């Protein structure tokens, strides 16, 4: 059994990690670290663990944590905070999967511009492996530090990647309209996230300037320049981004009155006429062997069909009149968009089948 620990165990992502790892047949939860709840029993904060092997588990403070006793550590911390903790942990003989935005960019100038935080460990940012399994599987297997992707980013990239490499795609036409449940904002008490502020309404926020805009663009352009080796469809020749125009996106997230889930509707123009069968071939080539990506043909993704699972559902419609492709992508933001994807990464690191501990279906109804 592999020993794993979680730092930031009492946030929404942390508790999802605990739930998944609690039922995982090949790992043992070693330490659960929480700054705000150190010394308390886990079941006093999350009663759903009463009667389980974690019934008497007492949360640890960071100063009492011994990282060398764990085979792998998940850091489920806010950006800016996580980079300090990871820099202390790195090199102590344990693997790390970080769920913040701190290590998703090899170019820390991009991170600093969009997050407004000075990056104190640029050398670790360059070492980190981006943890979108369907894109970067082989590098993940041997990684010491994995940067788990953002939730909106996961939904968007899975929908876009097969088409971005399509020779007919207009890379400057990408528009992403995405909706997320309230859990995506985390567990911190904020006035705009109170029940009466979110129930029975829907609102856009940070249109065009949300941080995940930069992550989507960054990974797309890394992919186009051959930084990621997997071929989705007919990958173009490597593009020199100093002389060629980069892929650009316009991204607007929305908050909707549900607890969990993301539905992204993505629009992309084609420069030449295509067909539904030609585009479907791209998606099937990209995902026909992927355990957690389902490409739908005769129906459209819905949040209720993926919530509570690690599955992503994708579909597209080609509109011949406008020569535009509409892509629909649905994931659970807390699972495939965070904790589930992190466990999928962990399985790769430990040379386990990717689906181990992640085969639960959606919680419907």
Q: What is the separation of C-alpha 57 from the centre of its chain, rounded to a whole number of angstroms?
A: 28
Where are the extended beta strands (E) located within the chain?
Answer: 2-7, 27-33, 72-75, 95-98, 129-130, 145-147, 174-180, 203-204, 249-255, 262-269, 293-295, 312-319, 324-331
Q: How far apart are CA 338 and CA 332, in angstroms?
A: 9
CB 141 within 8 A of CB 351: yes
Residue pair 131/345 in contact (Cβ under 8 Å)? The answer is: yes
The H or E element that residue 222 is part of is helix 211-224
How many angstroms separate the Cα of 240 from the Cα of each of 125, 223, 235?
Answer: 23, 12, 14
- The structure tokens 């990647």 sit at 161
Q: Which of 242, 243, 229, 110 is nearest to 165 (CA)?
A: 229
Q: How far is it, in rounded angstroms, from Cα 139 to Cα 136?
A: 6
Distance of alpha carbon 319 from alpha carbon 174, whole angstroms? 15
First vs last C-alpha separation in the chain: 34
Which own/partner pairs from 197-200 qualify as long-range (CB within 8 Å, at least 24 positions apart)?
198/255, 198/257, 199/257, 200/257
Residue 343: partners with Cβ closer than 8 Å, 6 or more residues away: 17, 20, 21, 24, 310, 357, 358
Cα separation of 236 and 292, whole Å?
A: 26
Catalytic member of 151, 171, 247, 352? 151
**Cβ neighbours for 285, distance < 8 A, ≥ 6 positions apart:** 162, 232, 233
Half-sphere exposure of 166 (CA within 13 A, CB side): 27
In sequence order, which residues have a C-beta less than 8 Å from that of residue 125 and are 6 or more positions away?
102, 103, 105, 106, 108, 111, 119
Q: Is 151 a catalytic residue?
A: yes
- Name the residues annotated as catalytic: 151
């Amino acid at each position: 059994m592999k020993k794993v620990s979680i730092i930031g165990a009492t946030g929404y992502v942390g508790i999802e990690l605990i739930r998944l790892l609690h039922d995982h047949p090949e790992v043992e939860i070693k330490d659960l670290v929480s700054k705000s709840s150190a010394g308390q029993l886990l079941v006093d904060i999350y009663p759903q663990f009463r009667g389980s092997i974690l019934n008497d588990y007492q949360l640890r403070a960071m100063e009492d944590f011994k990282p060398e006793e764990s085979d792998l550590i998940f850091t489920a911390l806010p950006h800016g905070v996580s980079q300090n903790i990871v820099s202390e942990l790195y090199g102590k003989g344990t693997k790390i999967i970080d769920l913040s935005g701190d290590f998703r960019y090899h170019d820390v100038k991009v991170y600093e511009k969009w997050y407004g935080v000075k990056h104190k460990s640029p050398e670790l940012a360059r070492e980190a492996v981006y943890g979108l399994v369907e894109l970067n599987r082989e590098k993940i297997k041997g990684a010491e530090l994995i940067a788990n992707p953002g939730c909106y980013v996961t939904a968007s990239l899975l929908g876009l990647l097969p088409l971005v490499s399509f020779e007919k795609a207009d890379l400057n036409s990408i528009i992403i309209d995405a909706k997320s449940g309230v859990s995506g904002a985390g567990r911190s008490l904020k006035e705009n996230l109170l029940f009466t502020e979110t129930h029975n309404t829907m609102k856009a926020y940070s249109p065009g300037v949300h941080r995940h805009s930069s992550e989507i663009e960054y990974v797309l352009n890394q992919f186009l320049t051959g930084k990621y080796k997997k071929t989705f469809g007919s990958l173009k020749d490597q593009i020199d981004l100093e002389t060629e125009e980069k892929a650009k996106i316009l991204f607007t997230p929305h908050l909707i009155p549900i607890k969990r889930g993301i539905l992204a509707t993505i629009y992309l123009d084609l420069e030449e006429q295509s067909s539904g069968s030609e585009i479907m071939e791209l998606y099937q080539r990209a995902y026909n062997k992927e355990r957690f990506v389902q490409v739908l043909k005769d129906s459209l993704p819905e949040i209720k069909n993926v919530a509570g699972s690690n599955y992503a559902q994708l579909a597209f419609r080609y509109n011949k009149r406008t020569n535009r492709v509409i892509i629909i992508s649905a994931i659970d933001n807390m699972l495939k968009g965070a904790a589930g994807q992190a466990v999928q990464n962990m399985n790769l690191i430990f040379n386990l089948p990717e689906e181990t501990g992640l085969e639960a279906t959606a919680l419907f109804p």
